[in-house]
């Protein structure tokens, strides 16, 4: 059965096209969704153990988290930060909030050590009892407005909230061994509550959102105890956490090809199950129509000033109406969902195709959600020295034909280069002739490196027809890392992004959006092709909802609050 399913999965050439990856949407298998599902299903007990804040919301908070497998602490420090010192760039050294997710209970001695180090972020050090660190700044557009409205006894306007979406935005989330924290192998092996990719990082953002809502209520009540009202629960759930994602995230998908392949393969496995095995019954088709209508409203409520994203949203909304019409014209009857997706491939944009796929996953959780524990993988790079060079040549031609088709003699195909800044060691994108640092470029353009290896291989085969990899590498030792990558990634179905990362026209935004879609982000506001604003956890349940039935928060919508404001 699995073999048959694998044959029906979309081919690598289609799935790993960078434009398609840059058109992905969040789904029921996105990491925020799977984390919240675990929290709700297992009924985690999350409570405030310490909430030592002054009337303006500055001080220390500790939330205690009890799961079926252990006890953890979310520790947060809130500091008064002058507006002129508020900076969202990675080079900042001060923030409104800094926080840590820790193993076990935090006693007074440990708390003081955290207080000395967590607010310093990269300049500080913690130990392996810490899983994740983050920092956040207030939204200058929304926090004061919401606070003023609550203090005056009014609920804030839902439309004003929709235009921003959050009270705080993160500027970085760290984990996996950085700054002394527990590495991923420890977390994965010893802490089953956080054994899925990026689970500690996703959880620290979930808790940041909770604190932001608790804090604004606290400050409003402190300011005007007789008139202030608490933020309405519907508005609370509509708030998310802001995030700005830049080039630092893009290399991850290249440098962790085995893991990325697993993410994509699980999503494609789920999609193949739904498209080939699920029965589009009348009530599921009705649900599909409901979600299409929800999607049109959701993207209509999305705010961006970037012209291309505005056009993409408008095209998406228009094409979703066509999806509805096409399905209705068929009498709302399908044999399989693949009839719809096959038509979509020829009729509509990549954006619409991939949203249709996400909606199909959403309405068949019984075929999809059991895959959520299969997204982690232990990297196992291999170098097979005994492979013949003829076999290596065949492997490159079979799996990397896309790279061999690129004309690297064209200057526009080698113009871009990736490097790390000296100041923060953050990835940057430069262009030959315009930016310095080409001699220090990172080896991210896999296609160009494969081409270089292939050309040397052809020359080597002409002189050494019966050679093998080990002797080829003895003659060309600089090729070792790319040969290892070719052999390793060729064992994985979806390991390589089929794009030239050295091209002048490269769009890093597509890589950013792809990774954010796997995280669970549903709204994108690009600021250039190099970085994007987004909102996390919008529509998600609150800790007060744990233990209760909670509907899906796929494609969150602005709540209707007229009756409250009246």
Q: 122 CB contacts (<8 Å, ≥6 apart)?
A: 179
| pLDDT tens by residue, 200-216 | 999 999 999 999 999 99
Regions in the chain scoring below 50 on pLDDT: 1-2, 563-566
Task: Give the separation between CA 405 and CA 160, rounded to whole angstroms.
Answer: 49
pLDDT at 562: 67
Domain boundaries, the chain: 2-24+255-376+510-518, 43-246+541-557, 389-489
Q: What is the mean pLDDT of the chain?
A: 93
pLDDT at 566: 34
Task: Give the separation between CA 21 and CA 24, rounded to whole angstroms.
Answer: 6
| pLDDT tens by residue, 68-84 | 999 999 999 999 988 77
Which helix (H) or strand (E) element contains residue 215? helix 199-223
Is-contact 452 485, C-beta < 8 A?
A: no
Task: Give the separation between CA 488 and CA 383, rounded to whole angstroms.
Answer: 7
Task: Give the separation between CA 467 and CA 390, rounded to whole angstroms.
Answer: 8
Task: Give the separation between CA 240 and CA 169, rounded to whole angstroms.
Answer: 9
Is-contact 539 238, C-beta < 8 A?
A: yes
| pLDDT tens by residue, 490-534 | 999 999 999 999 999 999 999 999 999 999 998 888 877 778 889
């Amino acid at each position: 059965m699995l073999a048959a399913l694998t044959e029906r999965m979309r081919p690598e050439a289609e799935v790993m096209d960078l434009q398609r990856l840059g058109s992905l949407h969040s789904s029921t298998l996105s990491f925020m969704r799977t984390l919240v599902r675990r929290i709700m299903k297992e009924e985690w007990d999350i409570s405030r153990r310490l909430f030592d804040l002054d009337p303006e919301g500055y001080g220390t908070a500790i939330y205690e988290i009890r799961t079926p497998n252990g006890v953890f602490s979310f520790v947060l420090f809130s500091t008064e930060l002058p507006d002129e010192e508020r900076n969202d760039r990675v080079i900042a050294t001060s923030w409104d909030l800094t926080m840590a997710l820790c193993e076990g209970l935090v006693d007074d001695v440990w708390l003081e050590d955290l207080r000395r180090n967590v607010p310093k972020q990269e300049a500080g050090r913690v130990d392996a009892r810490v899983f994740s660190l983050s920092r956040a700044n207030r939204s200058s557009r929304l926090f004061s407005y919401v606070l003023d409205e609550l203090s005056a006894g009014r609920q804030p306007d839902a439309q004003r909230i929709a235009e921003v979406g959050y009270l705080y935005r993160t500027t970085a989330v760290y984990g996996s061994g950085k700054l002394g924290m527990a590495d991923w192998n420890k977390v994965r092996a010893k802490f089953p509550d956080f054994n899925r990719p990026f689970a500690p990082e996703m959880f620290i953002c979930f808790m940041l959102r909770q604190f932001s809502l608790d804090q604004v209520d606290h400050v409003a009540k402190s300011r005007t105890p007789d008139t202030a009202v608490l933020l309405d629960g519907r508005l609370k759930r509509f708030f998310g956490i802001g995030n700005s994602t830049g080039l630092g995230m893009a290399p991850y998908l290249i440098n962790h090809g085995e893991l990325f392949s697993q993410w994509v393969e699980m999503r494609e496995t789920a999609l193949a199950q739904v498209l080939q095995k699920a029965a589009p019954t009348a009530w599921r088709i009705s649900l599909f129509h409901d979600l299409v209508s929800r999607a049109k409203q959701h993207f209509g409520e999305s705010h961006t000033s970037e012209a291309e994203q505005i056009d993409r949203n408008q095209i998406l909304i228009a094409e979703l109406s066509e999806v509805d019409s096409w399905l209705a014209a068929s009498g709302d009857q399908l044999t399989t969902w693949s009839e719809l997706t096959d038509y979509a491939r020829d009729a509509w944009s990549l954006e619409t195709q991939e949203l249709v796929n996400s909606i199909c996953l959403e309405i068949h959780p019984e075929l999809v959600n059991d895959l959520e524990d299969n997204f982690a993988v232990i990297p196992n790079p291999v170098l097979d020295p005994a492979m013949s060079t003829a076999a290596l040549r065949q492997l490159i031609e079979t799996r990397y034909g896309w790279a061999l088709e690129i004309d690297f003699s064209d200057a526009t195909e080698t113009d871009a280069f990736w490097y790390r800044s000296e100041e923060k060691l953050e990835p940057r994108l430069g262009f030959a002739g315009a930016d310095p640092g080409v001699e220090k470029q990172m080896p991210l353009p896999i296609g160009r490196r494969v081409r270089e290896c292939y050309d040397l291989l052809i020359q080597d085969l002409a002189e050494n027809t019966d050679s093998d990899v080990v002797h080829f590498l003895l003659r060309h030792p600089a090729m070792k890392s790319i040969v290892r990558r070719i052999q390793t990634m060729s064992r994985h179905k979806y390991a390589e992004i089929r794009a030239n990362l050295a091209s002048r026209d490269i769009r890093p935004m597509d890589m950013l959006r792809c990774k954010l879609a796997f995280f669970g982000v549903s709204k994108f506001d690009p600021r250039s092709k190099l970085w994007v604003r987004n909102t996390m956890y919008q529509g998600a349940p609150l800790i007060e909802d744990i233990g209760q039935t909670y509907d899906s928060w796929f494609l969150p919508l602005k709540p209707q609050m007229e009756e409250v404001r009246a």
